[in-house]
Amino acid sequence: MATISEVAERAGVSVKTVSRVMNNYEHISAKTRKKVRLAMDELSYAPSSIARQMRLGDPQSIGMLYGDPGSGYQARLNHAVLKACSDARRYLAVELFEEHDPEWRRQVEAFLDRTKVQNLILVPPMCDSTELHKLLQERGVRTVLISPSRQISGSSSIAMDDRLAAMEMTKYIIGLGHKRIGHIVGHPGHVAALLRRQGFEEALVNAGLEVRQDFVVGAGSFFFKDALACAEKMLTAENRPTAIFASNDEMAAAVIMVANRLGISVPEELSVAGFDNTSISQTMWPELTTVAQPFEAIAREAVRLVSDDVKRDLTVSATRVLPHEILYRGSTGPAPKE
């Protein structure tokens, strides 16, 4: 409601000075600053990001390319970014991005033109498109990548430590007494899937357990449907595993499904663990033990990174790794007695 000039009038200063206070300009006397702050509070003034953006490319504006939230992961992430912006009182311009659309280039350009966004948050899979990065670089748009498969020079990125988390999860399962543990591998094109597998195998090796190759299976995707066959293969094998750690929640849910069908009870006869803490993990019954991606923290950090403080002199691309958490829920339990 309140406009900047009302604040200025109330504080008895010029409009420009109010602007300076807002943007933490250096050369402002403490007294003036306080006066302005007070006036702003009294009028509960919030700057209009619209007007800011108008000033040809407000460096404050944030954009996000929004993929199809078909997967729980996408949905959670999009939501988290939205929330982080909302909390930070930052305006988020959202644009749909359809990978397969041959028009995507035009779409993105139109988006940038319309919104004059200078900062873009890119989530998977958009963050791995070389073409997209080239376009953005040409246009001088700064990007922050969330869990990219590889570094892009000039972009900082934020991720969690998939390998470590997978290791911890596996260690936990081993700690429950399990000896025969299976893993369902995710999409091999995603680095995350590889890292999770690595962490899994590493934990087994560390514990002196054998890595049975017939217990590390994957169907080339992250999908429920494809995981069904993998789970079936493992669970009908001789000396079947007593625990299965899937590369994501959806596939873990498939394991539970198959176990149900085969009359194997979870967690009594089979422990199941997933990864991501997406909605399906609590939809299932028993609820899935899983790795909680720090979605909220990741999003908050992303917003922070595109903010003023962080100078863009980093030609070196920094990666920030955020801590995860393991959620112990009903789908895992002590290994059954032989």
Using CB under 8 A, list all residues that contact its own copies.
Answer: 1, 46-51, 53-54, 66, 68-71, 75, 78-79, 82-83, 86, 89, 91-96, 107, 109-110, 113-116, 223-225, 228, 250, 253-254, 256-257, 260-261, 263, 279-280, 282-285
Name which of its own copies, DNA, none residue 279 binds, using a CB cut-off of 5 to 8 Å depending on partner kind. Answer: its own copies
**Per-residue tokens: 247:** 């590369």
Per DSSP, 66 falls in state: E
- Tell me if 307 contacts DNA by CB under 7 A: no
Pick from DNA, its own copies, none: which does 28 bind, CB < 5 to 8 A by kind? DNA
* Interaxial angle between packed helices 104-115 and 130-138, expressed in degrees from 0 to 180 and rounded to the nearest 10: 30
Token output for 252: 């873990």
Min dist CB 136 to DNA, Å, is 19
CA separation for the pair 300, 18 (Å, rounded): 27
- Which C-beta is closer to DNA: that of 12 or that of 189? 12
What distance, in Å, lies between the first and last C-alpha atoms of the chain? 70
CA distances for 322 relative to 99, 106, 127, 159, 325, angstroms: 28, 34, 18, 6, 10
311 part of the interface to DNA, by CB under 7 A? no
Smallest gap from residue 144 Cβ to DNA (A): 20
* DSSP labels, 220-271: SSS-HHHHHHHHHHHHTSTT--SEEEESSHHHHHHHHHHHHHHT--TTTT-E
Residue 107 interface partner, choices DNA, its own copies, none, CB cut-off 5-8 Å depending on type: its own copies
Q: What is the DSSP letter of 42?
A: H
Provide, rounded to whole angstroms, the least separation between the CB of residue 79 and its own copies.
6
Number of DSSP helices (H) and strands (E) in the chain, helices first: 13, 12
Would you give the binding string for DNA spanning residues 62-81, x where CB under 7 A is met?
--------------------
DSSP state letter for 214: G
- 15 makes contact, choosing from DNA, its own copies, none, with CB < 5 to 8 Å by partner type, with DNA
Site string for DNA, 4-43 (x = CB under 7 A): xx------xxxxxx-xx-xx-xxxxx-xxx----------
Interacting partner of 17 out of DNA, its own copies, none (Cβ under 5 to 8 A depending on kind): DNA
Query: What values do phi and psi take at 98, rounded to 5?
Result: -110, 110
With contacts defined by CB under 7 A, name the span among 51-59, 84-92, 142-150, 184-192 that binds DNA.
51-59
Q: Are 321 and 146 in contact (CB under 8 A)?
A: no
Least separation, in Å, of the C-beta of 151 and its own copies? 29
Pairing mode of beta strands 243-246, 92-96: unpaired
The minimum distance between CB 324 and its own copies, in angstroms, equals 20
| Torsions phi, psi for 3 (to 5 deg) | -110, 165
Size of the site for DNA (CB under 7 A): 30
Q: Tell how far CA 61 is from the center of its chain.
A: 20
- In the bound complex, what is the minimum distance in angstroms from residue 89's beta carbon to DNA? 12
Residue 254 Rama label (left phi>0; alpha psi -120 to 50; beta): alpha
Nearer to DNA (CB atom), residue 16 or residue 105: 16
Instruction: Choose from its own copies, DNA, none: what does 169 bind? Cβ within 5-8 Å by kind.
Output: none
Residues that bind DNA (CB under 7 A): 3-5, 12-17, 19-20, 22-23, 25-29, 31-33, 47-48, 51-52, 54-56, 58-59
